[in-house]
Structure 1
Amino acid sequence: MTADDRTLPNDLAVTAESTETITLRELLRALDTAVVELVDAPAGDDVVVSSVALVDSTDLAVEIESQSPMPDLFLHVGVGKSEAVRWFDQVAQRAPAHRPRAVMSKMATESRGLKTAAHRAGVALVAVHPKARWDQVFPLVQRMLDRSRRQQARLGDPDLLATDTDLFGLAQIVAQNSGGMVSIEDAQSRVLAYSASDEAADELRTLSILGREGPRDYLRVLQKWGVFDRLRESDEVVDVPAHEELATKRRLAVSIRQSSEDGSAAPRLLGSIWVQQGDTPFTADAADVLRGASAIAARIISRTLNAPSTEALLIQRLFGARGGGVDVPSVANALNLPITGPAAVVGFAPTATEAAAPIGEFAASGNMLRLHASSFSRESVATVIGDRAYVLLPSYKSASSVAAWTRQLVDQFEAKRSIVLRAAIAVPVPDLGQVAGARSEVDRVLDGTAATFPEGRVTTLAESRTPVLLGEILDLVGRHPELRDPRLDALIDYDSTHASNLCESAEVYLADHGDVRAAATALQVHPNTLRYRIRRVEEIVGIDLQDASDRMLFELQLALHRRTGIG
């Protein structure tokens, strides 16, 4: 699958417990005409959409082979026209109750045959803008399906701060009260939510909604005007004039900032709210509307950042985090997961050579990971715990397919984000009650194979049992000082005092099973030189390297020194 490499931040909707439904018409209106366009709706656009799956060409056959009801909405990523037509023809042979309600595709307007096939299957066809990013569209669709219908509240209404108010609802309210078109962005200028657009939307707004960067000339103008500096440093509403040459319209902007609890630190920038003027002027109190919206947005964002959603907590507890056990039937029902059946748990960790900044970037890439996991298995769940990420893949086809998907994802993170990852797979996991144990298993592998990178980019406990067990044995010995051999200290002190390398020579000699010529070649010294060094090692330590017990103990102590730096 080809997926865009830019990710959205964590889901900011706070309506995971919603039981209300959303129709295709409401979903498309929320996504905006800049992103999607309805091509055909044989059953009308008031059909209910409650589930979504992102699939590529390799996933299509799997969905068809299954006799269970299909998700209501499919996102076809990288699916060719001929493949899509064949898929629709197969869908048409299923019972109506087992067909999807709609399909989103970037190919929808390029083929009359595709529209005809979708119509025969009774499935609505929605065109996605060619420049839209799937990793932007997919989370937005999920967010809309997870929240209830937005209430038409005004900024002064108490309902605005009800539990079902999220950033999308806030954007709509600000648009109604300011007379413009609203975008809410995070601190990295990525769009989190927006109001509906109309014909007066300029190119800058359209590009931002599509997940694309605005024109560089305009960004330079904003920098020159000091707009970004003012947003970072104050809570004032910034009036950004129209720019005729760049075809951008007037905007009002305000920062979203969170003050420190004791006021001792500068406010933390969480994002910004932008309102583009349309064909009519802003309302007289538009600036006041923005100031109020900024405070509300700060509470929504900070609440979400500080308190994960109910679903996120359930997933982390399923993986054994946050303490306590889980009620497996309840978790399975809440997350729509099969309780039994083969599943796989995959853990990802940055390599030990990665700097802190890339590790932080990886930890913020949860949505990208979820997108890839959902393309492999629509029942998958993923979470980031510390500097590691974990994915549960229920109902996988084969262990080899899980390994192939994992290698592909590791390669994509390295190629697109310059983040070098290691991965460990636990498979099979017989039921949901074993997921926490499977996570412990992949942690063992990730801990035990850190020193073997890059040979162990993707591995399992069965494939890496020797380094894992040896590492755990060394850690166990290292926790008991009485099990360390003090005779090794004399050799370490000798190397330090005489600037020699007897420890290294002994390690290479033992690694080559006492083959002097092979070890001498590796060390680039004469065999007689190495023989002399080994004799000195035996004299200083007081051991006989021809004795199996002495040799085993000495090799273990050298490995412990190499691992901990302690003799």
Structure 2
Amino acid sequence: MNPRTSLARVLKDFSPALLDLVEGSPGPEDEVGGVVIHDPGDEIAYPPRAIVLGVGVYGAKDTARLLREVGGHGAAALVVRGPVERGEALSAASAESGVALVSLTQGASWSQLTQLLRTLLTEGDVGDAGVETLGGVPSGDLFALANAVATLLDAPITIEDRRQRILAFSGRQDEADQSRVATILARQVPDAYLRILESRGVFSELYRSDRPVHIAPATIEEGETAIPRVAVAVRAGDEFLGSVWAAIDGPLTPDREQAFQDAAKLVALHLLRHRAGTDAQNRLRADLVSTVLEGGAGAVDALDRLGLVKEPTLVMAMGLTGAGGDHAERAAERQRLTSALGIHLNAVQPRSALALLGDVAYAIVPVASDPVAGQERAVRIAGNFVERAGKRSPVVIGIGSVATDPAAIGPSRTRADRALRVLLSGQDGRRVASIADVYIDALLLDLRDLAAVQGDELLGPVARLAAYDARHRAHLIETLRAWLDAFGDITAASSSVFVHPNTFRYRIRRAAEVAQVDLQDPSVRFALMLQLRLMPSAGPASLA
């Protein structure tokens, strides 16, 4: 975790626009390890020093109880919807648990707060060997940059992308007007305010000008107060990257206007570094996941850099069914679903590590140490994702075994691959399965591989039936397979192949004669079932 990300810094960046400290006194050394949404009906994996979002938690009694509960998991802070009335019960619970109590401003979105917190907490998260600075501000740290520009201009600042979405904002947003507060809460400039700016030609001027653009006050609702804005475009050469907006009480002096223009160039460097850093972190994360899965000398170090070396994990393997379609389209679909799985895991198991390696997306997921409970939770997580992806989505996910130490992650990946292979074969229509669920099917596929390597051909009774069918088109193998699958029930077996029962009885007698076997013998039936399972669906010439 980025050492700059402390609870004190979170409160500094997000107060008072979003968050207010109610109880506790976090210091700059109190690092935050992640964000967790409290759900009383689900098993939650708590990262160390987590910020817990108490969605739907109200009242001093429930809040105090939850403070003590999350304190037992080592949480750093509990966030509940404001306003919160201070009292002895909450003070005592906060002091006893060591968990700070924070209130979320009314009207603010929990989902937006989650995104903002995770954006802040993951800056420089993977493999950060040192903090590079640009203009005296940590490289890519947009919130620190916004505060630096705000100090320069003595005004609250927002940094926005090309679609007027908020990338970062400074403190002192309470000094601005309602439109700015609504922008911060939604992390997006309100549509009504955008329409006003567009009608005034503000964006056209912003796109073509290198100088700061002054905007007269604009109100959305009658009776609302507003203050002026000044905005400057952020460019890298000819590319428009976004803009910086300041809410000001009066016109900027020439010196401050020049400083604002110069600051936009620094913001451009940070945005480019932020974008490049995100790509580099994704590549680094993929390399670390690959190193862990392959094992070897560097696996433990890679797992440590992913923050997963001290807890049980398992491997998920996601693939796409079917082989048709354009290669580029399938590659794009694979990348889209990998990104979607990453978002899903980030919401339910925030410390999961995901990477697309070849045609398979692998996720290393922290789970409970109990193998059964760990696999069951992983199956539920994967099942929820597949359900959200929709019935038309070609995604399937295999679940490996729980690895209680780094050396067991390799076998977990192997078992996830085996489960995925069964799902990709489409034998029973499942879309999610652990290796325990499909072990026999996986074992049969392994036997088929072994037969292919050894060059085995059909021998004995099944070979005789295949040869007879090839000469006479008698469908004896199809008849025998249906009879065995139906446990000898003539009515059910004949119905499955759409043949009259009398005709089916004749065929099964003929199959026994041609194969030269006694179908009443259990050992013979087992041998026939196994060899038929190993037969390829494309043709009966060999076992491969």
TM-score for both structures, normalised by structure 2: 0.69
1:401 and 2:377 matched = no
CA contact (8 A) 1:448 1:467 kept: yes
> Where does residue 336 of structure 2 map in the other structure?
361
Q: Does residue 388 of structure 1 match 2:370? A: no
Alignment partner of 1:39 is 2:22: yes
Q: Which residue is equivalent to 1:139?
A: 118
How far is the alpha carbon of 1:418 from its aligned partner?
A: 3.9
Q: CA deviation at 1:214?
A: 4.7
The alignment status of 1:443 with 2:417, answered yes or no, reads yes
In 2, the alpha carbon distance for the partners of 1:227 and 1:324 equals 58
- Is 1:275 the equivalent of 2:245? yes
CA change 1:291–1:280 in 2 (3 A) is same
- Structure 1 partner of 2:326: none
Distance 1:528 1:117, change over 3 A: same
Distance 1:427 1:410, change over 3 A: closer
Read off the aligned partner of 1:272 and give its amino acid letter.
Answer: G
* CA distance, structure 2, for counterparts of residue 470 and residue 257 of structure 1: 57
Q: CA deviation at 1:347?
A: 0.6
Matched, 1:522 2:475: no
Give the secondary-structure state (helix, strand or coil) at the position aligned to 2:122: helix
The answer on whether the counterparts of 1:426 and 1:461 sit within 8 Å (CA) in structure 2 is: yes
Indicate the structure (1 or 2) with the bigger Cα radius of gyration. Answer: 2
Structure 2: distance between partners of 1:526 and 1:60: 53
Deviations 1:156-201 (A, max 9, x none): x4x56x7x5533344445555676612244x887644333352354
Q: How far 1:345 moved relative to its partner?
A: 0.2
Q: Calculate the aligned-residue CA RMSD, in Å.
A: 5.4
- The 1:191–1:150 alpha-carbon spacing in structure 2 relative to 1, beyond 3 Å, is farther
Letter in 2 for 1:439: R
Structure 2 residues without counterparts, runs of 5 or longer: 324-328
Q: Distance in 1 between matches of 2:172 and 2:468?
A: 76
Separation in 1 of the partners of 2:213 and 2:281?
34
Distance 1:469 1:229, change over 3 A: farther
Share of identical aligned residues, percent? 20
| Aligned partner of 1:56 among 38, 44, 48 | 38
Question: CA 1:60/1:319 → structure 2, altered by over 3 Å: closer, same or farther?
Answer: same
How many residue pairs were aligned?
504
Does structure 2 conserve the Cα–Cα contact (< 8 Å) formed by 1:424 and 1:442?
yes
The match for 2:141 is 166
Q: Give the deviation of 1:104 after TM superposition.
A: 3.1
How far has the Cα of 1:223 moved from its partner?
Answer: 8.0
Asked if 2 retains the 8 angstrom alpha-carbon contact of 1:56 and 1:79, the reply is no
What is the TM-score when the length of structure 1 is the normalising length? 0.67
Show the counterpart of 1:103: 77
Q: Aligned partners of 2:416, 2:205: CA distance in 1, in Å?
A: 47
After TM superposition, give the deviation of residue 555 of structure 1 in Å: 2.3
Call closer, same or farther: CA 1:440–1:197 in 2, change over 3 Å: farther
Task: Report deviation, 1:297.
Answer: 1.7
Structure 1 residues 473, 144: CA separation in 2 closer, same or farther (over 3 Å shift)? same
Aligned partner of residue 364 in structure 1, secondary structure: helix
After superposing the two structures, state which structure 1 stretch, 359-368 or 451-460, moved more: 451-460
Give how far 1:59 is off. 10
Contact 2:317/2:398, CA 8 A, preserved across alignment: yes
Q: Is the 8 A contact 1:57 1:79 kept in 2?
A: no
How many Å apart are 1:512 and its aligned residue? Answer: 3.1
- d(CA) in 2 for partners of 1:552 and 1:326? 45
Say if 2:469 and 2:476, in contact at 8 Å, map to a contact too: yes
Distance 1:334 1:442, change over 3 A: same
Query: Displacement of 1:560 after TM fit?
Result: 4.0
The superposition leaves residues 504-551 of structure 1 with CA deviations (integer Å, 9 ceiling, x where unpaired) of 667545533565432221233423555688899999xx9678785995
Partner AA of 1:135 in structure 2: T
Residues 13 and 170 of structure 2 are in contact (CA less than 8 Å); yes or no, is this contact kept in structure 1?
yes
Give the counterpart of 1:326 among 294, 298, 314: 298
